[in-house]
Amino acid sequence: MPDTALLPTPCYVIDKGRLLRNLEIIAALRDASGARSLLALKCFATWGVFDLMARYMDGTTSSSLYELRLGREEFPGEAHAYSVAWEDQEFDDVIRYSDKIIFNSIGQLDRFGPRAAAAGRIAGLRVNPGVSSSSFDLADPARPFSRLGEHDPERIAAVADRISGFMFHNNCENADFDRFDAMLGHIEQRFGFLIRRMDWISLGGGIHFTGEGYPVARLADRLKRFADAHGVQVYLEPGEAAITRTTTLELTVLDTLWNGRNLAIVDSSIEAHMLDLLIYRQQARVEPDEGPDEWMVCGKSCLAGDIFGTFRFPAPLKPGDRISVQDAGGYTMVKKNWFNGVRMPAIAVRETDGTVRVVRQFGYGEFKAALG
């Protein structure tokens, strides 16, 4: 019997053994390149496994005050604070919980920079290099009229003495080292004279260097050459790279129908529990996805397009059968919601010794508290 068979469903299961594989690659890259790695909490913020992650990573990077505070409280190491726009009433807390504060614009630097400097916080600026690896306009930081960072070298030069570093975040699920190398070369060509005035540079996340076959040694060499050439400390902000292939979403079949094809309804919903599948019109992954029976696996919400995808199984599905959706860690638990009042998945952890424990369950109380 699978070790997840007795878990309540729906349930996210984080496998620490698989997580450890990614973390060891991250640590090896740091050792070879000198680049520090900060967990991108916008992708994964399930703090129940931060004890393991903190042994191999250097801290966290955030996109809001709440993420920042979570990183400071639960993840030893540096706490980088970034937001597209800080608010007046939250900025004292931003100062309180951060080591570095990265401003999205010169306007925000003008407005909040003096307060950060008076408190002794290190200030940085997000720079938009105008190129990215994103294949989705929705997620492309270099899309036309992008609000994500300053792009004009002359305007940036005018405030360079008020900051000590830049953050470039222009990679998105980029598994192609040569493409990364070319884009970094573009950044050096356009902003190199400014980079050499800085102490540190964050190259953001979206570099899929823990994927199978990625040339980690070449990446380490490129990062080290970049750091040495410009005299800077390099940071990376892995999110998906840290947790890829570590987590499953365990589901139970509730009902089956036939409407021109086999349909199976499960006790979960992509809109509520794997929202990126809906946003980017993608299909979940079920393994081994083989066998004579083809079934469309559907969520239980009232949304007509609430569909995990079409998969193959060794036998016809029936109520009570279990389905395990693979690679369900990134941008899922941080985006889960109460649409239709569908029960929120529990969160479980598989320890490195193979034992599985439920660390969090949600009920009606959390549903009601979120609404009034």
Whole-number Å distance between alpha carbons of 81 and 95: 9
Split at pLDDT 50, 70, 90, the class of 2 is: low
* Average pLDDT for 262-279: 98
Whole-number Å distance between alpha carbons of 138 and 134: 9
Helix axes 216-230, 16-33, angle to 10 degrees: 40
Q: What is the DSSP letter of 345?
A: P
Whole-number Å distance between alpha carbons of 43 and 108: 24
What's the full length of the chain, in residues? 372
Q: Residue 4 pLDDT more than 90?
A: no
At residue 107, the pLDDT reads 98
36 phi/psi in degrees, rounded to 5: -90, 150
Q: Residue 203 pLDDT more than 90?
A: yes
Whole-number Å distance between alpha carbons of 192 and 153: 10
Structure tokens at 362: 């949600």
Average pLDDT, the chain: 97
pTM to 2 decimals?
0.96
Q: Residue 1 pLDDT more than 80?
A: no
Structure tokens at 92: 């004292």
Chain segment 135-153, per-residue pLDDT in tens = 899 999 999 999 999 999 9
